[in-house]
Amino acid sequence: MAYPYLSDLIRALTGLELPLPVPMFGLLVAAAFIAVTLIFQAELKRLHAAGRIGCARIRERTSGGRVADVEVPPQDVASNLSLTVLLAGFVGARLFSFLEYPREFLADPWSAIFSRTGFTYYGGLVLGLVAGILYAQRKHVALRPGLDAVAPALAIGYVIGRLGCQLSGDGDWGIAASLAAKPGWLPTWAWAQTYDNNVAGVVLAAPGVYPTPLYEFAMALVTFAILWALRRHPFQSGWLFSLYLVLSGLARFAVEQIRVNPVFQLGGVTGSQAEFISVAIVIAGLVGLCACRARRDATA
């Protein structure tokens, strides 16, 4: 069962009919944004107190009417930085979706642009990170420790976002599930779902499809737990973010094996857009882990 709106979820839990047409996916995205910002701020504050990241610089108008650069703790710019990443991420997620389904987009561009579905996570990650890095440079926030600070935040944001996909039934599910292959100890709902009443308006034949948002929810939660446990690692700045790239890339590549996605040819290799990007992200992460493996003088 899917719950496109908050009223649907309240009805299922309590039986009450309340006029709350709040989209569940949007609600969870808002919750993810708040969680990401709070964790990002907390990590920037910790790293700043430990002397591992310096001050940011913002422009303010003085009492004399002049504009001057003022140094502030890096966590003071976290909210605006997160908002910049969020807005750019939405654009990137939609853009990459158009690139992934070009025929559908060209057939009806306006419907595709204003659809409630059709967001590609990696598009949001790529464009969001680019915008975030540019904003951080503008505010003189050190890049590598800043990326380390945001790594656990990105993981928990993905956890909450995938919960939104699962609850709303936004079409980001897997291929048709085979009940014959289901392990006996696993409940059926964790193996196959029909996502009745899904926001995409798609009718899925029983027994349903693999609930891939649930699998990604679980893997992202594990990723967050690992990153949070290792955030005081003794290695050079950039190591934790590199680890995030490896873990998130491997998780996404794994789930792509049972997800419905168009495939492409790249250099004689066939795969989905997300598979190619996952491999690139894992490689980039491994390179980063090797480059940042030297130990710091002191831990924080």
Q: Are 174 and 190 in contact (CB under 8 A)?
A: no
Q: At which residue do the structure tokens 């059709």 appear?
A: 118
Domain that holds residue 132: 6-291
In a domain, 23, yes or no: yes
How many domains does the chain contain in total? 1
In a domain, 1, yes or no: no
In a domain, 50, yes or no: yes
The whole-angstrom separation of Cα 53 and Cα 155 is: 21
The whole-angstrom separation of Cα 92 and Cα 16 is: 38
Write the single-letter amino acid at 129: L
Q: Give all strands (DSSP E) within the chain, no chain letters.
A: 56-61, 67-72, 263-266, 269-272
In a domain, 297, yes or no: no
What pLDDT is attached to residue 299? 46
In a domain, 234, yes or no: yes
Predicted TM-score (pTM) of the model is: 0.90
In a domain, 70, yes or no: yes
What pLDDT is attached to residue 170? 87
What pLDDT is attached to residue 123? 84
Per-residue pLDDT of the chain (300 residues; tens, 9 = 90+): 999 999 999 999 999 999 999 999 999 999 999 999 999 999 999 999 999 999 999 888 767 678 788 899 999 999 999 999 999 988 888 887 777 767 766 676 766 666 655 667 788 888 999 999 999 999 999 999 999 999 999 999 999 999 999 999 988 899 999 999 999 999 999 999 999 999 988 999 999 999 999 999 999 999 999 999 999 999 999 999 999 999 999 999 999 999 988 888 888 888 888 899 999 999 999 999 999 999 886 544
What pLDDT is attached to residue 258? 95
3-class SS at 122? helix
In a domain, 230, yes or no: yes
In a domain, 298, yes or no: no
